[in-house]
Structure 1
Amino acid sequence: MTSPIDTLNAFYDAERRYMAAGGAAAGASFDEMAATLDPAIELHQSPDLPWGGEYRGHEGFRDWSLKMSDAFDQLSVEDARFFVSGDTIVILCRLVTRARRSGQVHDAPMAQVVTVRNGRIAEFRPFYWHVPDYVAASGKAIRAA
């Protein structure tokens, strides 16, 4: 049986390859990421981000990945430390991104709360350090509330 951390690392690897392949703009396949996600996945992103909002199911997650890959051509979770309680993982890490338009690299602390059930990710809740920096790096405007 796959551990929750193994599942999460498989997602991170798939996400990194998706972004490195150019994301949706370059026709990168979402299938490898989808294989790590529960069909009813819930992703909760800060509404202050250009890609903010609530995303549900594989189609919702694919929609989020389109927005992220439009903003960034590289995305990597680095120096991850995992704290596991049952099916919940708290991750303290650095999120390193490179803006697609400007080439600007952004490296900042991040925390995530992830739920894994039956070997697949059921819920993601990321907490970004200083959201305005991500907005600026993405080249997008801050969303109106």
Structure 2
Amino acid sequence: MTTESENVARLKQAYAQWSGQKGADCQCWMDLMAEDVSLGSLADGAPEMSFSAPRSNKDQILDYLNELTRDWDMLSFDMEDFIAQGDRVVAIGRVAWRNKATGKIADTPKIDVWRFRDGKAVDFIEFYDTARSFEAARP
């Protein structure tokens, strides 16, 4: 198996665990990441999604995940296509989350871009429809 295919396999396993448990267990992501991993999100810490602020290590990303699941319930998380080249993997799919405070749903396409080093994720940035997400978070 090539490094590209190994990275894709690691991601597919983590996404399947995350989706299957509806976000209840973040360990799949912690096992995947290097200590010095960075996270970027299209919402970039906007007031409606303050948890989406940039993060620069594994502990901070765990905080991100805990804050996400504190405020939102996962309805679906389906990453179906994976494109790998060199140390990068792009995952393409669709997700739906319900905001716990408003009851509104954000159903959006999602693209995640990962970079790996020595089998561990060192960089992650997520792209999704922020307008739908912000609307779902607003009363």
TM over 0.5: yes
Single out whichever of 58-67 and 69-78 deviates more from structure 2.
69-78
Gaps of at least 5 residues in structure 1 are: 22-28, 141-145
For normalisation by structure 1, the TM-score amounts to 0.75
User: Which residue does the alignment assign to 2:133?
Assistant: 134
Q: Please report how far the alpha carbon of residue 18 of structure 1 lies from its aligned counterpart in structure 2 after TM superposition.
A: 6.1
Residues 111, 128 of structure 2: 8 Å contact kept: yes
Counterpart of 2:107 in 1: which secondary structure?
Answer: strand
Q: Deviations over 1:84-116 (max 9, x none)?
A: 111101222112222233443332112221112
Structure 1 residues 57 and 7: CA distance shift in structure 2, 3 A: same
2:27 is aligned with 1:44: no
Rounded to whole Å, the distance in 2 between the matches of 1:100 and 1:42 is 27
Residues 78, 96 of structure 1: 8 Å contact kept: no
1:7 to 2, 5, 10: 10
Gaps of at least 5 residues in structure 2 are: none
2:68 is aligned with 1:68: yes
Q: 5 Å matches for 1:82-121?
A: 82-121=82-121
Rounded to whole Å, the distance in 2 between the matches of 1:89 and 1:38 is 16
Q: Please report how far the alpha carbon of residue 31 of structure 1 lies from its aligned counterpart in structure 2 after TM superposition.
A: 3.2
Counterpart of 1:55 in 2: which secondary structure?
Answer: coil
Structure 1 residues 84 and 41: CA distance shift in structure 2, 3 A: same
Counterpart of 2:101 in 1: which secondary structure?
Answer: coil
Larger helix percent:
2
Number of matched pairs? 131
Counterpart of 2:51 in 1: which secondary structure?
Answer: coil
Counterpart of 1:60 in 2: which secondary structure?
Answer: helix
Report percent identity of matched pairs. 19
Amino acid in the other structure paired with 1:115:
R
Q: Deviations over 1:5-30 (max 9, x none)?
A: 111122223433262x3xxxxxxx54
User: Which residue does the alignment assign to 2:125?
Assistant: 125
Amino acid in the other structure paired with 2:38:
E
Amino acid in the other structure paired with 2:132:
D
- Give every structure 1 segment of 4 or more consecutive aligned residues whose post-TM-superposition deviation is greater than 3 Å: 29-32, 101-105
Aligned Cα root-mean-square deviation (Å): 2.4
